[in-house]
């Protein structure tokens, strides 16, 4: 019962703030609502006994991704911040796309046969995660790390100051 109430509260919080992220006109308020979304997701992870994922959610999304968005906001021109979260009214395109995605997701979910694992969730899930991540799947894990490093280096290269070398002539 308590779990159900907690889920309802979290779900309302999650969906409500997610809706605000897209409808609010002020992009700064939208970012704060986004952080609330991340926290609600972390709460749902905790309800599902996935403590590690919940903390990752807070660390990476609420603490990392949102800060990056904040960086973006601070470099935005502040002339018209009240209407900075630009909304458009292309409902004709948006509605079919949204419904199509929802339909595909619903059909896939309905056709899948969900068999809940009969094993209880381990108390200390990180002890079980570590061997999987750093032993069984170490190559995909490292490949992802290298990919991220390459992406970061590429981004640095793109924003590097262009030296004016054509002036010599």
Partner 1 sequence: MFETIFVDAANWLRNLLISINLSPFVVEVFLHVVKMVVILVFVLLNVMWLVYMERKVSARFQCRVGPDRNGPYGLAQIFNDVAKLISKEMILPTHVNKKMYLLAPILIFAPPMAILAVTPMGEGMAAVDLNLGLYYFVAIAGINTVVVWMAGWSSNNKYSLVGGMRAVAQMVSYEIPLLLALVGVIVLTGTLNLNGIVDAQKSAWLIFTQPLAFFIYFIAAMAEANRAPFDLVEGESEIISGPYTEYSGMGFAFFFLAEYANLLVMAIMTTTLFLGGWLAPFGWTFIPSWLWFIIKVYFVIWVVMWMRWTFPRIRIDHLMNLAWKFLVPLAIANIFVTGLAKYFIGI
Residues that bind partner 1 (CB under 8 A): 2, 26, 28-29, 32, 35, 51-52, 55-56, 58-59, 62-64, 66-67, 70-71, 73-74, 123-124, 126
Picking from 62, 71, 73, 95, the residue whose alpha carbon sits closest to that of residue 28 is 73
Kindly calculate the radius of gyration of the chain based on its CA atoms and give it in whole angstroms. Answer: 22
Q: How far apart are CA 160 and CA 169, in angstroms?
A: 24
Are the CB atoms for 36 and 44 separated by under 8 Å?
no
Looking at the Cβ atoms of 14 and 39, the one nearer to partner 1 is 39
CA dihedral 92, 97, 98, 103 (to 10 degrees): 130
Q: Which is nearer to partner 1, 100 or 131 (CB)?
A: 131
The H or E element spanning position 146 is: helix 138-159
Which residue's CB is nearer to partner 1, number 2 or number 116?
Answer: 2
User: Residue 107 or residue 130: which is nearer to partner 1 going by CB?
Assistant: 130
Q: Tell me the C-alpha distance between 63 and 50, whole Å.
A: 19
In whole angstroms, the minimum distance from the beta carbon of 109 to partner 1 comes to 30
18 versus 73: smaller Cβ distance to partner 1: 73
In the complex, least distance from residue 77 CB atom to partner 1, rounded to whole angstroms = 13
Closest CA to 39 of 1, 20, 19, 66: 66
């Amino acid at each position: 019962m308590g779990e159900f109430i907690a889920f309802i509260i979290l779900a309302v919080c999650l969906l409500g703030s997610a809706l605000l992220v897209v409808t609010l006109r002020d992009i700064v308020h939208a970012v704060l609502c986004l952080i609330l979304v991340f926290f609600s997701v972390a709460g749902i992870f905790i309800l599902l006994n996935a403590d590690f994922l919940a903390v990752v959610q807070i660390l990476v999304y609420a603490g990392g991704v949102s800060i990056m968005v904040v960086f973006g906001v601070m470099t935005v021109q502040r002339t018209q911040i009240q209407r900075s979260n630009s909304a458009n009214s292309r409902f004709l395109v948006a509605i079919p796309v949204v419904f199509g995605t929802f339909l595909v997701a619903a059909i896939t979910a309905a056709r899948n046969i969900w068999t809940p694992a009969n094993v209880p969730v381990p108390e200390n899930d990180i002890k079980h995660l570590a061997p999987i991540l750093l032993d069984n799947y170490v190559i995909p894990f490292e490949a992802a790390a290298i990919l991220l490093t390459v992406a970061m280096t590429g981004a640095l290269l793109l924003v590097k100051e262009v030296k004016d070398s054509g002036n010599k002539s």
